Chains A and B, each alone.
Chain A
Amino acid sequence: MHEVAALPWPVALAYLVSGILFILALRGLSSPATSRRGNRFGMAGMAIAVVTTIATHKFLDMAEIIGAIVIGGVIGFIIARRIAMTAMPQLVAAFHSLVGMAAVVVGAAAYLSPLAFGIADPATGEIFAASRIEMGLGVAIGAITFSGSVIAFLKLNGNMSGKPIMLPGRHVINLAVLAGILGLVAYFVTDQSGWVFWTVTALSFVIGFLLIIPIGGADMPVVVSMLNSYSGWAAAAMGFTLHNTAMIITGALVGSSGAILSYIMCRAMNRSFISVIAGGFGAETGAADGGEAKEQRPWKRGSAEDAAFLMEQADNVIIVPGYGMAVSQAQHVLREMTDLLKEKGVNVKFAIHPVAGRMPGHMNVLLAEANVPYDEVFELEDINSEFGQADVAFVIGANDVTNPAAKTDKTSPIYGMPILDVANAKSVLFVKRSMGGVGYAGVDNDVFYMDNTMMLLADAKKMVEEIVKALSH
């Protein structure tokens, strides 16, 4: 059996070291205190991998390589400095697409020039069978990551409607295309002709596109995590092709990381991974029961002054931010509001639902950006029991994650989803644009109509600005 030649031991050792540094980079994220050191480990790991590779290969033209790195580095650096924190989900999606594309071009280069990577028989030019499977799968995963991430980016960036786009017979089409890809990868082992390789690549681009268009905006946290996972598996598959331990270790880390995040997000919505992938959430339900049949229930409208008065008098206030806060960029003025409340002796905490926003941890980053100390921000399970002792629950731009129907109504599309029990607070202030919109799941929220709820209907940022004005009198 033909085998890929082993790397010289110092080179293999260097790649192992960078793999370990990447593990330490993720380990650092277990606490904000150690996270920055972890990030430096990651940078060191990357530097070792790149320098080792450059030092052990003969380059025809070093200037080209340096040029390519500098061009990419400058673009990346500028984007990273300028990007608004609210645009982080789009940015992450865009970065995923680049990992996918990089995997595709590396796979294509390996296919066109297998001897350069030592994965072909020098005598016949035939690529080793195992390498063909690894290469085929790597390119397929990379292409899916690329086109899927591009769609996710367009949806998150608002260039494309967040509503699910449902093609008729899409499950059949998708399964047929997937089967086609796997069949061709298997066939690739017996026939290394160009058409097989390029058809696999093209079909994979198509399936990535088809897989993500039916998925709605509210499911984006799962999609972004899932694509994160794919980008890892793509890197790992390339690592298998090139027998590179740094790529394999990193790919496995990133792949598991994305998979775990997807699992956490699915659990936080009580949905199965399959139902998210199948897509369409939020499309049918809104139309089904959104008609006139719904009873008009009484609700109370409050003003900024009322809200300011209620919170001033309170001992404990819990703020529940959601995607609406991100959309209206209300995090900074929200921090001002909490500062004023704290000066008045009110105890303020933040409660974050795992799927609040458009990606895992989205709310935490925005609050951190607004200088909210991270020890005032709590996760669902750590704070949920405290709503009973809270005088005011201040919900800003969140909806479905507070809906008691998730506990009581078995027919609700969000039934079984863990929620923040804002209804247990003595009073609830609900900042919302209008009574019309009913969240992404398309279900009405009983909290709106409770006796102790006051609806603050306005843009989140404007409302909080007015509350701040009222508090500073």
Chain B
Amino acid sequence: MDFISILSIFVLACFVGYYVVWSVTPALHTPLMAVTNAISSVIIVGALIASAEAGEGLAKWLGLAGVVFASINIFGGFAVTERMLAMYKKKERK
């Protein structure tokens, strides 16, 4: 892919992010931070490639360390978001 195609994806995604995030209700801003944390750990993809393709040596171990860090975030981030979201309840109508 050439740089311009990648840049186009990036810029359009920034716009999508802008509109989507403004529509998030302020009550859910803490879960928003927790879930953005989890999804930004998609960087695990890079860590996986490093640990697969880098052969032996330092690069591979750095990749594996990256996989551990990102996994903490992915599992921790999604789980804590789930836990928070489960607490938001509506008034029980009698």
Chain A residues proximal to chain B, CB less than 8 Å? 3-4, 6-7, 15, 18-19, 22-23, 25-27, 29-33, 35-36, 38-39, 42-43, 45-46, 49-50, 53-54, 57-60, 64-65, 68-77, 79-81, 83, 85, 88, 91-92, 95-96, 98-99, 101-103, 105-106, 108-110, 112-113, 115-117, 130, 224-225, 228, 231-232, 234-236, 238-258, 260-261, 264, 352, 354, 359-362, 364-365, 368-369, 371, 373-377, 379
Contacts and interface: CB of A to CB of B under 8 A. Distances in A.
Contacts of A352: 26-27
Contacts of B20: 23, 26-27, 253
Given A95-B37, A365-B30, A374 B66 contact: no
A228 B37 contact: yes
B46 A98 contact: no
Contact of A106 (B30, B50, B91): B50
User: Which of B6, B47, B71 counts the most chain A CB atoms within 10 A?
Assistant: B71
B6 A248 contact: yes
Contacts of A75: 71-72, 75-76
B3 to A, nearest CB: 6
Contact of A228 (B36, B46, B48): B36
A83 B80 contact: yes
Contact of A253 (B13, B56, B64, B83): B13
B34 to A, nearest CB: 6
Contacts of A59: 51-52
A95 B33 CA distance: 10
A39 B82 contact: yes
A106 B60 CA distance: 10
Nearest to B34: A92
B40 A112 contact: no
Q: How large is the interface on B (under 10, 10 to 19, 20 to 34, 35 or more residues)?
A: 35 or more
A427 B70 CA distance: 51
A258 B44 contact: no
Contact of B48 (A57, A71, A239): A57
Contact of B73 (A31, A50, A102, A260): A102
27 contacts: A4-B1, A22-B39, A29-B31, A30-B23, A53-B48, A57-B53, A72-B70, A102-B66, A105-B62, A106-B43, A106-B50, A109-B50, A109-B59, A112-B58, A113-B60, A238-B46, A242-B46, A247-B46, A249-B13, A251-B40, A252-B10, A254-B36, A256-B14, A257-B32, A352-B26, A359-B30, A365-B84
A36 B82 contact: yes
B35 A375 contact: no
Contacts of A113: 50, 53-55, 57, 59-60
B42 A247 contact: yes
Nearest to A79: B76
Contact of A64 (B23, B53, B64, B85): B64
Contacts of A102: 41, 43-44, 47, 66, 69-70, 73
A224 B32 CA distance: 12
Nearest to B2: A3
A361 B42 contact: no
